[in-house]
Structure 1
Amino acid sequence: MQASPHTSASTPGSGPARHRRRSRGPLLGVLASAAALAGLATTLAGGANAAENPYERGPAPTESSVTAPRGTYAVSETSVSRYSVSGFGGGTIYYPTSTADGAFGAVAIAPGYTALQSSIAWLGPRLASQGFVVFTIDTRTTSDQPASRGDQLLAALDYLTKSSSVRGRVDGTRLGVMGHSMGGGGTLEAAKDRPSLKAAIPLTGWNLDKSWPEIKTPTLVVGADSDTIAPVRSHSEPFYESLPSSLDRAYLELNNAGHFAPNTSNTTIAKYSISWLKRFIDDDTRYEQFLCPLPKPSLTIAEYRGNCPHTS
């Protein structure tokens, strides 16, 4: 704030002009004090927010940040040989290169029937660059059924948190699971068997078991409207509908998409997977804006159901 440029006709050094010059000192002091107090309030508020949720990672999200091919974190990766582990078939770990933000939540991802980790590899760097440690795994055989794939997802998380070379970067209390097709069915099995998991995302999941009332993990079920291998009416929809109504749950049906949509880079899958993992693994309510109010049908979304606001 500056004093008005208007001055009286008084000559320099006269009373009124001298009074205005003298009053600027106290005025500037008051303004400086107010600015300092405002800055202190902002700092305290920021500190309070950080104290409320120490798990937030990365800058505040935007539509462009959750749909971008990469997030703000540089990503490194390391291979895990199937011969060096037990309980699953090895895989690849993707993780934020920097350690400046401390430990990260983690997610293990399983492929589908007859598939290798390469079929879901695109999710590795995409999710890791948003602030997660991501383990895309191979299964012991390509024909393992959902229950076995669920066990293998849990074995992979145990390896990741207890034995892997990046275990110091992982917060073992904040873990999730994802999977495609039979890996999606395995995702439900893993969530049922380990209620402490923070998030589960079955992608066009397949499982003979259609009922999951035991699950206590926030679950985003992703189906595809043109899926003929795991049709939504006999798989993803009953999976979702059988989840407890009190659970944080959602059903995303991809529009004009088939069973193998999760095998290639997909912005819609990425956007809602990132938002779900951030919301429930990191407890980052900044991502609630992408989940509530419920997304409406669009060129890429045939249907979206869920509970809002979320309770966890």
Structure 2
Amino acid sequence: MQQHSQNSSLTAGTVPPESAGRRPRRRDGRGGWAAKRITGALAALTTVVGLSSLASPGAHAADNPYERGPAPTTSSIEAARGSYSVSQTTVSSLAVTGFGGGTVYYPTSTADGTFGAVVISPGYTGTQSSISWLGARLASQGFAVFTIDTLTTLDQPDSRGRQLLAALDYLTERSSVRTRVDGSRLAVMGHSMGGGGSLEAAKSRPSLQAAIPLTPWNTDKSWPEVSTPTLIVGADGDTIAPVASHAEPFYGSLPSSTDKAYLELNNATHFTPNSSDTTIAKYSISWLKRFVDNDTRYEQFLCPLPRPSLTIEEYRGNCPHTS
């Protein structure tokens, strides 16, 4: 049974008016230093010491104990791998309840303490192999990533939402890597019906730090209950979950008080999230870093809003982010 033939008959609905995201505002700087004129070598020494202290990664990390990895650049978040070496472990479906098992990808090193975590669900008729490319790619940036199989490949979004939460509970409470995971910094992602499931999970568990639905499908078009920071990724060529009847109304129904963004991929299809994609990875990493790790070093990639490009058809959001 093919996903396209099953899902294409399910897409329908009138698009509700969408509440536009606020236009970005540039944040003010932190202000300048009131410099006094002093002379000689002492002036140069004072300047060098002062600047090196401000630029110190250790000083910045002390302000936010959840920062992981070096200061980001466009190249580092677009790279196929981040700064962490990654290990992985298989979780058998026979060893768990509430979902179908999966694979955990995690940073090998324990030197930086615990990591935030994200569980990812595949779509209708799909298995974890369809979203496995995200596992090592996100983990190498400093996250524990759990790509799961669902109880059956035909499970609907509400069931997938419950399975995402069951997988998070297993990961943080019973898994072999539970001591590496910070149970207070958790997120969900999913493709298609798994994306719809990630909205269901965020609705059910407001304590989640982030949600990223990828070309999401759901019969429920309105999500005013979701307070979790949510990045919705749509595709301009999606004929299974067209953005006009899925991703766009999902985004528009999120409260204006919720940190939210809508990324529409250019020249993409419903199945683009099933293969390695730099644009999806770039903004997923930035969103997870910003809200799971509260790492404001990544705000620069989200605000001001990214402009249309060869890979971005449209990007909306409310900036600056507040959470």
Same structural fold, with TM-score higher than 0.5 when normalized by the shorter chain = yes
2:115 corresponding residue in structure 1: 104
Report the secondary structure of 2:228's partner residue. Answer: coil
Calculate percent identity across the aligned residue pairs.
76
Distance 1:267 1:165 in 2: 30
1:136 corresponding residue in structure 2: 147
Can you list the C-alpha shifts for 1:122-145, whole angstroms capped at 9, x where unaligned? Answer: 000000000000000000000000
| Deviation of the 1:246 alpha carbon | 1.3
Conserved 8 A contact 2:238-2:269: yes
Unaligned runs of 5+ in 2: 1-39
1:260 corresponding residue in structure 2: 271
Distance 2:208 2:76 in 1: 26
Distance 2:94 2:169 in 1: 16
Can you list the C-alpha shifts for 1:129-181, whole angstroms capped at 9, x where unaligned? Answer: 00000000000000000000000000000000000000000000000000000
Size of the alignment, in residue pairs?
A: 284
Mapping of 1:6-155 within 5 angstroms? 30=42, 34=45, 38=49, 42=53, 48-155=59-166
| Deviation of the 1:279 alpha carbon | 0.3
Distance 1:206 1:36 in 2: 55
- Greater CA drift, 139-148 or 34-43: 34-43
Distance 2:52 2:237 in 1: 53
Report the secondary structure of 1:50's partner residue. Answer: helix
Report the secondary structure of 1:93's partner residue. Answer: strand
Conserved 8 A contact 2:211-2:230: yes
| Deviation of the 1:51 alpha carbon | 2.6
Distance 1:138 1:144 in 2: 11
Q: Displaced runs of 4+ in structure 1, greater than 6 A?
A: none
2:189 corresponding residue in structure 1: 178
Distance 1:43 1:302, change over 3 A: closer
Unaligned runs of 5+ in 1: 1-26
Conserved 8 A contact 2:85-2:109: yes
Match of 2:252 among 234, 241, 248: 241
Match of 2:308 among 297, 302, 307: 297
2:241 corresponding residue in structure 1: 230
Distance 2:64 2:282 in 1: 22
Mapping of 1:266-277 within 5 angstroms? 266-277=277-288
Can you list the C-alpha shifts for 1:101-127, whole angstroms capped at 9, x where unaligned? Answer: 000000000000000000000000000
Amino acid at match of 1:276: W
Distance 1:254 1:88 in 2: 30
| Deviation of the 1:40 alpha carbon | 9.9
| Deviation of the 1:49 alpha carbon | 2.6
Distance 1:102 1:226, change over 3 A: same
1:10 corresponding residue in structure 2: none
Conserved 8 A contact 2:189-2:211: yes
Distance 1:103 1:234 in 2: 39
Report the secondary structure of 2:104's partner residue. Answer: strand
Amino acid at match of 2:188: V
1:156 matched to 2:167? The reply is: yes
2:203 corresponding residue in structure 1: 192
Report the secondary structure of 2:116's partner residue. Answer: strand
1:218 corresponding residue in structure 2: 229
2:298 corresponding residue in structure 1: 287
Distance 1:40 1:301 in 2: 37
| Deviation of the 1:50 alpha carbon | 2.3
Match of 1:203 among 206, 210, 214: 214
Distance 1:300 1:46, change over 3 A: closer
| Deviation of the 1:70 alpha carbon | 0.5
Report the secondary structure of 1:107's partner residue. Answer: strand
Distance 1:262 1:40, change over 3 A: closer
| Deviation of the 1:52 alpha carbon | 1.8
Distance 1:52 1:253 in 2: 34
Scaled by the length of structure 1, what TM-score is found? 0.88
Distance 1:46 1:308 in 2: 25
Compute the RMSD of aligned alpha carbons. 1.8
Distance 1:228 1:200 in 2: 23
Distance 1:96 1:275 in 2: 18
Amino acid at match of 2:105: Y
| Deviation of the 1:38 alpha carbon | 1.9
Higher RCO by CA contacts (8 Å cutoff, separation 6 or greater): 2
Conserved 8 A contact 2:305-2:316: yes
